[in-house]
Structure 1
Amino acid sequence: MTTTLAPPAAPRAVLPVTPKWWADAGAGVAWVSMLVVLALWVANDGVQDLGGAWPDALTSLGRLTGLLASDLLLLQVLLMARVPLVERVFGQDRLARWHRWIGFSSFHLMVAHIVLITIGYAGAARTDVPGELWELVVDYPGMLLATAGTLLLVLVVVTSMRAARRKLRYESWHLLHLYAYLGVGLALPHQIWTGTDFTGSAWSRAYWWTLYAAAAGAVLVWRVGVPLWRNARHRLVVDRVVAEGPGLTSVYLRGRDLDRLPVRAGQFFQWRFLDGPGWSRAHPYSLSATPHTGVLRITVKDLGDGSARVARLRPGTRALIEGPYGRLTGEHHSGGPVVLLACGIGVTPLLALLGELHLAPGQATLVYRAGSEAEVAFRAELDWLARHRGVRVVYLLGPRARRESWLPASAAGLSDAEALRRVAPHVAAADVYLCGPEAWTVAAAAAARTAGAAPARIHTEQFAW
């Protein structure tokens, strides 16, 4: 079925542009928080205790590792809270990398905290380590809760390892990771009741209570409050479902006041369809058409249980959303050429971008990588964009090259950068947008940099979790 590209139904509110310096400011705040924790530990005799007897030294190091682990855990909660400012500044790709790094770092610090505190306390009391650990868990206030929280965090960390992730469905992984909130909530309160660096200093209490409140408030507002309000206001329902090709389905949705939905082309939502059991598991789908036509459209490839259900949706089915997320947008495009590189279903957000960017004829080149002609989606819309808006569309079809490359085997004789210069001669002066599987996107981004594109003008959205 061919769908025409409709003009905007109504003027949209102008969305604010995110200042670029906010990224440096946000990263600076995170590092300052770590320095504050270190300063509070020093102020509470942390350094002096290092020069004492070995049990005191181990206990002091245990306090420091515990404080750093707590700070990183709360920073991780803020990263998970879907705060729009954080999402717009850093984007999902960078947040995912930071989330993983901070998660493993806080876990290792937490393990070091447990080991050092237990050995230090055992040395001071002249008892055996297993007996001291048992006493800490059973007799100290809040430690049973902390033990339960630690076990939940261990579960989250184990399922975050690449080997485990490859064996899990996205739905299962996403559900397990929600236990991270519960794990943090159970693991940290013992600090309030027994932590020397909490009970012994008014400045420490003020800092930690502020950080706790910020983390909890962000989750309640942005993960609970705003989605509830937004769904109550817009009341999205399935309008129609269209088969676009083998295993590829588009869903068109209507709702109220969609011109007030603060979304840009290229972004995605977490979607839940109220079509029966399993509706509580959200799935990330990008908009595949510009979001200012009075209709939202997503296009889903059948890759698993959740995505397979999309093809069976009926008109009138309610849809719940969280978002919008992602920074694969034209927010900072100030004119000039653009090169868009898509692989497979990654064409969907780029198709939406092409409908929204203000471009002169010939300024846009879309390079579409697919396994075969049958796998090319939205051929009619791409032809329309080529005819009416001067978009240059280049199809790269065929099996993958037998090396790490974004190219098909038929072009494997060229280097990745040289092939890109041939299909998009103006790439060095362009904003480059990429979307596709993780390994393909990494190779395509490397080719763009080698071909002369400025790293700050390369924008990615990877299909990875």
Structure 2
Amino acid sequence: MTIPAFRDQRELPDDDRYFSGLRDDDASRQGWDGPSLPPWPDQQQPQPQYDQARYDQQQYAQPQYGQPYAAPDSHRRGDIVVSSETDPTGWKAGSGVPIRDERPPGESTSGNRLFTVLLFFSGLATSVALWLFNTQAGAISDTATMMIAAGRVTGLIGGYLLFIQLLMMSRVSWLEEWVGSRDLLRWHRWLGTSLLTFVVAHIVFIVYGYALTAGTGVVEQGWTVITTFPEMISATIATGLLVFIALISIRFIRNILNYELWHLIHLSSYAVLLLGYGHQIAAGADMSGRFASVFWPALGCITIAALFWGRIVEPLWLNARHRFSVAEVVGEGANTFSIYIEGKRLDKLPVQAGQFMRWRFLTANGWWQSHPFSLSAAPNPQWLRLTVTIAGGHTRKLATMRPGTPIWAEGPFGTFTAERRTRRRALLIAGGSGIAPIRALLEDMPPDTIVIYRASRPDELVFRTELEDLAEQRDAWVRYIVGGRNDPGPRRLFTPDGLRGLVPDVNRRDVYLCGPPGLVDAAVDTLKQLDVPDSQLHLDPFEF
């Protein structure tokens, strides 16, 4: 299969000679030809044709450090910009962008979110109402009965939150399209903390209330509850699993664990439902009754059906229909490569630029691992492209895959797409490997889109030629911010004055962010200071 793509960027025409110093001594520079990395794929494929005259007219020459810049070219689509103490914008090299009249915003999903929130709280109120309607007047007469009542209410809320948590983990496509992956992730984190809090409160209130009633100690009563009440052993195991999952989800601990191990442990939350549901039915005083006998089984059936559909049916159908396999692995730069994927009926694949899928490459040592990778080019009927930065043993082995390697995929996921725009213009901010979905998104963005690409070194800039060609085709602008985090330009970037200098109308644009957590957090803080509404911020979470 011939991939009509941009090949090894070290071999592409370098009209601005910016990277000439990096290419003069390939033998001394560690790269794909070094002993620690796999060899480059065959470079005998035909190279893309370039209009040399057009590039010559653009005068891409970059001055050496310490030399003055030439007058900025108003038609230049891609510039490495640096901070300036004299320019009114605070930047050198083409920072000014024309501002045009605003058009009415597009469709927003805020109505979907509001409806989903109302539906959630309606279900929550219904679960609490089951206790209220099942409790006679005067039943709460002392501290013991008050503690038991609080234990029953917190138990009902905890049971309801567990079902909702699993429903959000089901990966059914309609739920993500309706709500959005960013909101699902935020709700998942918030509900996880709330679920643990209510389950622990349920245990404390019930044990303490029974201890007051029986006139025994709390520890003794707790042991009595575990050993004599029905289905309490399984409920105790479920609680232990829930606490363990909460602990490994703390960011510090999660960063230490291997991703696959963390993900596998996280999936044990399904066992929490199975182990805890028996306790709810056997010991739950508010689980029976005319309405409760319908509400709880219906909620359980909906959750199990969504899990079965999203985790089993949809992946089976996707892979049986498209039969993905590796077409070619192509080097893109230092420690970065692209995987081209072929398959059947790719024109029917419901994926958009900016979305990600979970990919399981069925090799001898990698079949058991699946990882989320975004498309780095808009989908087309011939191939899909993923771009990977080597970050460990698994990604390093992916660079050595042979054509024809079968792939198991799940998805697509994410609402990091152009159709989620609410304004006429857009700002795309990328850092590191986050350039992959940003580069794909640029193909679907409107004119006057601005791309800000943050990198530590010039040789880390991937897709530079593609970005500038796309900018020419789509009347967009690309700005490269290169240097260490303490250099003047990068330090100025995520300040209100710095970002406004590059993008004067930033608060009237949709902003798409993808990159390391530090970069995304700094960008979001700055955008908030510039009064960019939350509805105009689009992030690319990978957790689901």
Flag whether TM exceeds 0.5 (same fold).
Answer: yes
Q: Judging changes above 3 Å, is the alpha-carbon distance between structure 1 residues 344 and 22 closer, same or farther for their aligned structure 2 residues?
A: same
Per-residue deviation, 1:123 = 2.8
Superposed, which structure 2 residues align to 1:150-299 within 5 Å?
Answer: 150-199=239-288, 201-299=289-387
**2:489 equivalent among 410, 417, 421:** 410
State the AA in 2 paired with 1:232.
A
Superposed, which structure 2 residues align to 1:48-59 within 5 Å?
Answer: 48-49=138-139, 51-59=140-148
- Measured in 1, the distance between the counterparts of 2:543 and 2:165 equals 19
Superposed, which structure 2 residues align to 1:415-430 within 5 Å?
Answer: 416-430=495-509
Residue 75, structure 1, aligned to residue 185, structure 2: no
Provide Cα deviations, 1:89-114, integer angstroms capped at 9, x if missing partner: 43333322221111111111111111
Per residue, is there more helix in 1 or in 2?
1
Tell me which residue corresponds to 1:329.
417
Runs of 4+ in structure 1 off by over 4 angstroms are 3-6, 17-20, 462-465
Per-residue deviation, 1:411 = 4.9
Per-residue deviation, 1:380 = 2.1
Tell me which residue corresponds to 2:474.
389
Range moving further from structure 2, 30-39 or 442-451? 442-451
SS of match in other structure, 1:224: helix
Per-residue deviation, 1:274 = 0.6
- Measured in 1, the distance between the counterparts of 2:286 and 2:269 equals 24
Greater relative contact order (Cα < 8 A, sep 6+) = 2
Tell me which residue corresponds to 1:2.
6
State the AA in 1 paired with 2:121.
W
Checking the alignment, whether the CA contact within 8 Å between 1:18 and 1:88 is kept in structure 2 is no
Q: Which runs of 5+ in 1 are unaligned?
A: 7-16, 402-407
Checking the alignment, whether the CA contact within 8 Å between 1:245 and 1:377 is kept in structure 2 is yes
Q: Judging changes above 3 Å, is the alpha-carbon distance between structure 1 residues 91 and 438 closer, same or farther for their aligned structure 2 residues?
A: farther
Checking the alignment, whether the CA contact within 8 Å between 2:494 and 2:522 is kept in structure 1 is no
Q: Judging changes above 3 Å, is the alpha-carbon distance between structure 1 residues 428 and 413 closer, same or farther for their aligned structure 2 residues?
A: closer
Residue 41, structure 1, aligned to residue 41, structure 2: no
Q: Judging changes above 3 Å, is the alpha-carbon distance between structure 1 residues 334 and 154 closer, same or farther for their aligned structure 2 residues?
A: closer
- Measured in 2, the distance between the counterparts of 1:124 and 1:453 equals 56
State the AA in 2 paired with 1:168.
L
SS of match in other structure, 2:386: strand
Provide Cα deviations, 1:54-91, integer angstroms capped at 9, x if missing partner: 32221111111111111111111111111223312433
State the AA in 2 paired with 1:97.
R
Q: Judging changes above 3 Å, is the alpha-carbon distance between structure 1 residues 285 and 47 closer, same or farther for their aligned structure 2 residues?
A: farther
SS of match in other structure, 2:417: coil
- Measured in 2, the distance between the counterparts of 1:454 and 1:133 equals 50
Checking the alignment, whether the CA contact within 8 Å between 1:427 and 1:452 is kept in structure 2 is no
Identity %: 36
Tell me which residue corresponds to 1:143.
232
Q: Judging changes above 3 Å, is the alpha-carbon distance between structure 1 residues 441 and 76 closer, same or farther for their aligned structure 2 residues?
A: same
Checking the alignment, whether the CA contact within 8 Å between 2:254 and 2:262 is kept in structure 1 is yes
Per-residue deviation, 1:464 = 7.0
Greater radius of gyration (CA)? 2
Q: Judging changes above 3 Å, is the alpha-carbon distance between structure 1 residues 174 and 58 closer, same or farther for their aligned structure 2 residues?
A: same
SS of match in other structure, 1:173: helix
Tell me which residue corresponds to 2:41.
none
**2:404 equivalent among 298, 311, 316:** 316
Tell me which residue corresponds to 1:25.
115
Tell me which residue corresponds to 2:511.
432
Task: Give the TM-score of the pair, scaled to structure 2.
Answer: 0.77
Q: Judging changes above 3 Å, is the alpha-carbon distance between structure 1 residues 86 and 285 closer, same or farther for their aligned structure 2 residues?
A: same
Task: Give the TM-score of the pair, scaled to structure 1.
Answer: 0.89
Checking the alignment, whether the CA contact within 8 Å between 2:422 and 2:536 is kept in structure 1 is no
Per-residue deviation, 1:18 = 7.9
Tell me which residue corresponds to 1:60.
149
- Measured in 1, the distance between the counterparts of 2:284 and 2:530 equals 54
Checking the alignment, whether the CA contact within 8 Å between 2:108 and 2:422 is kept in structure 1 is no
